[in-house]
Structure 1
């Protein structure tokens, strides 16, 4: 079904590469060049001194003197910046011993991939004091001169990357890339608040323009972009691209360029996963770019232009020129460029239809139909879920009622037993009390009778014996 329509987005692999045929990825923001070639083209050529001797008529070349003065002032400014960064008119040569240098290199060689905490520990060690001092001096200087134009700040950061990487020139390229990734994160996490969306550029205005442009295209459907989309909702949301939308929105919360690139890579991987679940055929480059355009239109990421320019200016060149992150970021740039120039033919629409959609005078029938189907499916799913929950609630209430009745019966039975036992014990206690009273009274009577008998016997004895003789 998707192959019958003409795809609105077509970008070949060759079109993604640099115009200079250097083998790296180009970018629409750099007019199709990679970051290295773009910087070489954008960097103004060195002013050639036009000093010549006076003509025969003795007329001085005032312009040549002006150029000489300008070059002198430029050299003075360069030396000033070098003194700020290095503490001397020119970059100092390595003054550390070969043994200390070897110990530092050995410590960095033992660093595990992705261990940023370990990198900070090594950098703060006494053996790496020189490297730490360079980073600290550079950060303090950049913060002090944060009013410089953002392009100048970008050049200073890129020059610092290059000079720092020269310290590890003997390392393999992969290991240098890993170390420089940690350096980038350390530097740019602290400089983010000074250089992101700088006052010297119009990034904020372009963010607003891009956001309004994306908001005006909220009517674009996956079918218009030829994006394979499931016929039935896969979940309550009904959008398999939701994880990709979430990932691209998270990019604005990151501070280091590599973390923003990680969000772009995560978003792109989710796009491929959504395409694989929505289409039986493997996703190709056209499907991926169409899906990425759909994700950007639905997400409308905050400050998208500023985030992309931040990565352009302050990210490591190799992360944008090659590799998976470079490929994904180049496709994101192509998607943004496509959205900015989106018109009717790109969506297989006539200019009249496109203008009608942009003016909200009409809505895609397929979009309305799909929306109704989606709402109906979501409602049915919610009703079934609520019905199941109601049944479970009724069953729970019945079970709880039975348990409550059994408990009441058990309590009443135990109460009756306790009452009967209490009555029996009380009866026994009363009987024992009466018995003890009776026995005590009878024993008292017997004792009194015994005493009386003894007294009677004693009287009889006395009468029988008669009066006793007494001595005179």
Structure 2
């Protein structure tokens, strides 16, 4: 059934790469560029807009000097702010080479993912300088949390670059591992200040995306071209359930690297499900189609905010290259596909697509009413059962009460009967015991009367 090579969402590997052909992964959120090329293009565009505002709106030429002075003042304030964050650019006090080598060796000996060990080394006296820089940066970022979100992003990225200079002697793998620990330390503390920041509209876009995904709940795997088993196991159910669970867990993480781990787990579970559902090896088209299906089924909370958080505050190498970069780029493509989903993308006419959308919305409303009706019936059944139990209890109590009353009356009757018998026996005993004594007394009296006077000496 799934042997058609044209199934699924068609997206070549070349479309995942940066438009500048720099070798890194692009992203729909950056118009197909990688983060580095996007920033390089954004700076000249911004400068051009500023020049247009200065010279293209009829402003006198002398006003350009005022703009130049204003930009210089702005740059001076930025440099002052940066000095507040990580000190002056003047060289720090020299450290002994033995002490520095000892600290670097300790960081190099860390196992991958040993964040606890990293914290222990950072808190040691030999790493006091690095610890002080991290503490000063965190305290200042929290104090100036009202800055625009893009300023926060620039400051964090600048801090990453500044901090990485200390480990310039490390290999690429060692530097990546160390900076991942630094990112987790910094962003775990800053998460509550910069996630869904007040200066951006991430929260509103989250609600829009959630409503969009909810309105597409009628889309089936067959419409997306996702290889799906016709007969599901009674135990496992949906083979994509582990992927759905993994992407939902992303919102509970704080560090961008941990969120990317959830994206990687979700993608790996998608490949595993495809290998089970399809006799052929999974390809890129199957993967992207399945990832779209997972997003529609999961409807992850605050998906847009989480993706923007990773883009703004994650390490650049995690998004531009490697396995995590590939998975995150596909996730961005899946979200962009959902936002622009129409009839031709599902091999449907526009009329059929709109009919499905109306039917899906109606089914959501109807489903809500049916759920309310089912809940009402359940409550009525529960109350009826409780009333029947109460009636049965009252009946049993009445029977027990009547039985107890009868038992009391029986005991009273038996006690009365025994009392009557005992009284009769007592009277019989009294009468029988009084007759012989009377006869003896009378005999004695008669004997005394017939006898003569008693003998005397006279």
Same-fold status (TM-score > 0.5): yes
After superposition, the C-alpha distances for 1:5-55 in whole angstroms (9 at most, x for unaligned) are: 8435111111100111111110001111111111222235797999xxxxx
Partner of 1:108 in structure 2?
107
Tell whether 2:310 aligns with 1:320: no
Q: Give me the whole-angstrom Cα distance separating, in 1, the residues matched to 2:284 and 2:143.
A: 45
Q: Which residue of 1 aligns with 2:212?
A: 213
| 1:134-153 matches, cutoff 5 A | 134-153=133-152
Write the deviation string for residues 304-338 of structure 1: whole angstroms up to 9, x where unpaired: 00000000000000011111111111100000000
Provide Cα deviations, 1:394-418, integer angstroms capped at 9, x if missing partner. Answer: xxxxxxxxxxxxxxxxxxxxxxxxx
Please give the alpha-carbon distance, in whole angstroms, between the structure 2 residues aligned to 1:191 and 1:347: 41
Which residue number in structure 1 is paired with residue 159 of structure 2? 160
Structure 1: 5+ residue stretches without partners: 51-59, 365-472
Question: Do structure 1's residue 76 and structure 2's residue 79 form an aligned pair?
Answer: no
How far apart are residue 236 of structure 1 and its match? 4.6
Partner of residue 449, structure 1 = none
Deviations 1:53-107 (A, max 9, x none): xxxxxxx95224313421331232023213312343x354453232322222122
Distance 1:311 1:362, change over 3 A: closer
- Partner Cα separation in structure 1 for residue 358 and residue 158 of structure 2: 48
Say if 2:187 and 2:255, in contact at 8 Å, map to a contact too.
yes
Please tell me whether residue 234 in structure 1 is matched to residue 246 in structure 2.
Answer: no
Give the length in aligned residue pairs.
354
Partner in structure 2 of residue 171 of structure 1: 170
Contact residue 146 and residue 194 of structure 1 kept, 8 A = yes
The CA deviation string for residues 370-415 of structure 1, in whole angstroms up to 9 with x for no partner, is xxxxxxxxxxxxxxxxxxxxxxxxxxxxxxxxxxxxxxxxxxxxxx
Name the structure 1 match of 2:27. Answer: 27
Q: Matches of 1:138 and 1:92 in 2, distance apart?
A: 18
**TM superposition shift of 1:121:** 0.8
**Secondary structure of the equivalent of 1:219?**
coil
Describe how 1:301-380 pairs up with structure 2 within 5 A. Answer: 301-360=300-359
Aligned to 1:37: 37
2:12 aligned partner = 12
Structure 2: distance between partners of 1:7 and 1:298: 20
Conserved? CA contact 1:8–1:348, under 8 Å: no
Q: SS of the counterpart of 1:357? A: helix
Give, in angstroms, the shift of residue 251 of structure 1.
0.4
Alignment of 1:392-431 (within 5 A): none
Distance (Å, rounded) in 2 between the aligned partners of 1:271 and 1:252: 19
8 A Cα contact 1:5 1:226, kept in partner:
no
Contact 1:19 1:26 survives alignment (8 Å)? yes
Describe how 1:391-470 pairs up with structure 2 within 5 A: none
Deviations 1:185-212, CA, capped at 9 Å, x for gaps: 0000000000001110110110011000
1:269 and 2:268 aligned: yes
1:122 — aligned with what? 121
1:356 is displaced (CA, Å) by 0.5
Moved more, 106-115 or 205-214: 106-115
Distance 1:64 1:315 in 2: 38
| In 1, Cα distance between equivalents of 2:177 and 2:205 | 33
- 1:299 equivalenced with 2:298 (yes/no): yes
1:224 alignment partner, SS class: helix
Quote how far apart the aligned CAs of 1:231 are: 1.1
Is the Cα–Cα contact under 8 Å of residues 215 and 360 in structure 2 kept in the other structure?
A: no
Q: How is 1:273-292 mapped onto 2 (pairs within 5 angstroms)?
A: 273-292=272-291
1:8–1:347 contact (8 Å) kept in structure 2: no
> What does residue 450 of structure 1 align with?
none
> Any conservation in 1 of the 2:247–2:263 contact (CA below 8 Å)?
yes
In structure 2, do the counterparts of structure 1 residues 249 and 47 end up closer, same or farther at CA, with 3 Å as the change threshold? closer
TM-score when scaled to structure 1?
0.71
SS in 1 for 2:224: coil
Misfit runs of 4+, over 4 Å: 44-50, 361-364
Cα distance in structure 1, aligned partners of 2:254 and 2:146: 20
Worse-matched range after superposition: 287-296 or 32-41: 32-41
Report if aligned partners of 1:47, 1:71 keep a CA contact under 8 Å in 2: no
- Identify the residue that residue 370 of structure 2 maps to in structure 1: none
* Offset at residue 350 of structure 1 (A): 1.1
* Corresponding residue number in structure 1 for 2:403: none
Q: Would the aligned equivalents of 1:319 and 1:325 in 2 still touch at CA under 8 Å?
A: yes
Q: Distance in 1 between matches of 2:107 and 2:298?
A: 40
Mapped to 2, the partners of 1:12 and 1:46 lie a distance apart of: 32
Q: Structure 1 residue 363: deviation in Å?
A: 10
Partner of 1:385: none
Q: Distance in 1 between matches of 2:70 and 2:360?
A: 60
TM-score (norm 2): 0.74
- Alignment partners' CA distance in 2, 1:262 and 1:348: 34
Q: How far did residue 122 of structure 1 move?
A: 0.8
CA RMSD of aligned residues (A): 2.3
Question: How much has 1:234 moved relative to structure 2?
Answer: 1.4
